[in-house]
């Protein structure tokens, strides 16, 4: 990958989108992970106003430490970058308390609730400053297996790295000087008390999922099973990819609308 060319393309695209939107800058939620580190760096390179928001609650200390280290790096390097730390613990606990015990004990529902509260915070700052919320999802997460919360981390104004695989995200991040601690950290969404990683949740690594996505791009997975011979693990990864891709397709299609015939109206 030509890192310099990709960087310039994304930075120019961000500039163009900002002009079209007639907004004043970008807001980025910084988690301590590689995706948000890359997006925030690319936004900073536009020289437009950028607000970095560190949303603390369920992240472990190492995640918050990485996030703050990256924020310090960007705010010192770029005059157009500012930051704020927002603790959403009390907001989440109050929100959680209105639900029945059954809902409160549903880990996935509560994890998605945290993600949606994060989105609300980012859009509060977006509205205040007339900034665009920059998404941090990569190609595998957003368009491969749908590994994001609908109207949570999927609730954004634009997607700067949505066409980059996790491998490409890491390569470009390294070229742009993102800290090694972030580059080597195990990917996690920071939504779980036990600090489980993305791989723990999905059952496959991003490298494996990239392979499955590539296989699926030129032939359906079911057809591949008959044409090509795969190992037991490869077949398992293909099944994980197919199941998640199919199950989460609804996240990437327009909201269904009942269109009324003009004859009736």
Mean pLDDT, the chain, as a whole number? 91
Quote the pLDDT of residue 256: 86
> What is the arithmetic mean of pLDDT over 82-105?
95
Quote the pLDDT of residue 253: 87
| Domain shared by 87 and 215, yes or no | no
| Domain shared by 212 and 179, yes or no | no
**Domain range holding 234?**
203-252
| Domain shared by 133 and 165, yes or no | yes
| Domain shared by 177 and 241, yes or no | no
**pLDDT band at 194; cut points 50, 70, 90:** confident
Quote the pLDDT of residue 193: 75
Using a pLDDT cut of 90, give the percent of the chain over it: 75
> What is the arithmetic mean of pLDDT over 181-194?
84
Q: How many degrees, rounded to 5, is the angle at CA 149 between CA 186 and CA 189?
A: 15
| Domain shared by 71 and 21, yes or no | yes
Please report whether residue 188 resides in a domain: no
Question: Residue 91's domain is classified under what CATH number?
Answer: 3.40.50.620
**pLDDT band at 227; cut points 50, 70, 90:** low
Quote the pLDDT of residue 223: 60
Please report whether residue 262 resides in a domain: no
Distance of alpha carbon 139 from alpha carbon 248, whole angstroms: 14
Among 155, 183, 211, where does a domain finish?
Answer: 183
pLDDT at 121 over 80: yes
Structure tokens at 191: 């939504």
DSSP notation for 86-149? EE-HHHHHHHHHTS-HHHHT-HHHHHHHHHHHHHHHHHHHHHHHTEEEB----HIIIIIS--S-
Distance of alpha carbon 131 from alpha carbon 81, whole angstroms: 13
| Domain shared by 159 and 40, yes or no | yes
Among 152, 183, 214, where does a domain finish?
Answer: 183
pLDDT at 9 over 60: yes
Please report whether residue 190 resides in a domain: no
**Range list of H helices, the chain:** 3-21, 34-45, 61-77, 89-97, 101-104, 107-129, 139, 166-175, 180-183, 198-202, 206-218, 221-227, 232-247
Among 183, 212, 227, where does a domain finish?
Answer: 183
End-to-end Cα separation, the chain, in angstroms: 54
| Domain shared by 120 and 246, yes or no | no
pLDDT at 261 over 90: no
Please report whether residue 195 resides in a domain: no
Specify the number of domains making up the chain.
2
| Domain shared by 135 and 217, yes or no | no
Please report whether residue 9 resides in a domain: yes
| Domain shared by 38 and 91, yes or no | yes
Please report whether residue 119 resides in a domain: yes
Helix (H) or strand (E) holding 51: strand 49-56
pLDDT at 230 over 70: yes
| Domain shared by 31 and 155, yes or no | yes
Please report whether residue 193 resides in a domain: no
| Domain shared by 8 and 116, yes or no | yes
Quote the pLDDT of residue 215: 85
Using a pLDDT cut of 70, give the percent of the chain over it: 94
| Domain shared by 94 and 207, yes or no | no
Please report whether residue 8 resides in a domain: yes
> What is the arithmetic mean of pLDDT over 131-156?
94
Tell which wins on pLDDT, 133 or 225: 133
Quote the pLDDT of residue 175: 96
Radius of gyration in angstroms for the set of CA atoms belonging to the chain, rounded to a whole number: 20
Q: Measured over all CA atoms, what is the biggest interatomic distance in the chain, rounded to whole angstroms?
A: 63
pLDDT at 41 over 70: yes
Quote the pLDDT of residue 236: 93
């Amino acid at each position: 990958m030509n890192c310099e060319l990709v960087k310039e393309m994304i930075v120019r695209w961000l500039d163009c989108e900002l002009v079209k939107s007639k907004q004043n800058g970008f807001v980025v939620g910084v988690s301590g992970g590689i995706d948000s580190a890359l997006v925030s760096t690319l936004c900073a390179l536009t020289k437009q106003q950028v607000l970095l928001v560190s949303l603390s609650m369920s992240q472990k200390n190492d995640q918050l430490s990485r996030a703050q280290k990256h924020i310090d790096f960007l705010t010192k390097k770029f005059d157009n970058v500012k930051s704020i730390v927002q603790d959403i613990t009390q907001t989440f606990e109050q929100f959680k308390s209105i639900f029945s015990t059954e809902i409160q004990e549903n880990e996935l529902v509560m994890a998605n609730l945290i993600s949606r509260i994060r989105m609300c915070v980012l859009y509060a700052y977006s509205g205040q400053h007339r900034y665009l919320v920059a998404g941090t999802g990569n190609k595998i997460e957003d368009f491969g297996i749908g590994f994001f919360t609908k109207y949570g981390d999927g609730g954004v104004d634009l997607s700067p790295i949505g066409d980059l695989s996790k491998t490409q995200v890491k390569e470009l991040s390294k070229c742009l000087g993102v800290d090694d601690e972030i580059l080597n950290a195990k990917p996690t969404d920071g939504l779980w008390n036990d600090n489980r990683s993305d791989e723990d949740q999905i059952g496959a690594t991003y490298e494996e999922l990239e392979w499955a996505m590539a296989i699926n791009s030129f032939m359906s997975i079911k057809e591949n099973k008959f044409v090509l011979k795969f190992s037991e693990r490869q077949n398992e990864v293909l099944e994980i990819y197919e199941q998640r891709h199919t199950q989460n397709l609804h996240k990437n299609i327009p909201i269904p609308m009942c269109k009324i015939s003009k004859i009736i109206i």
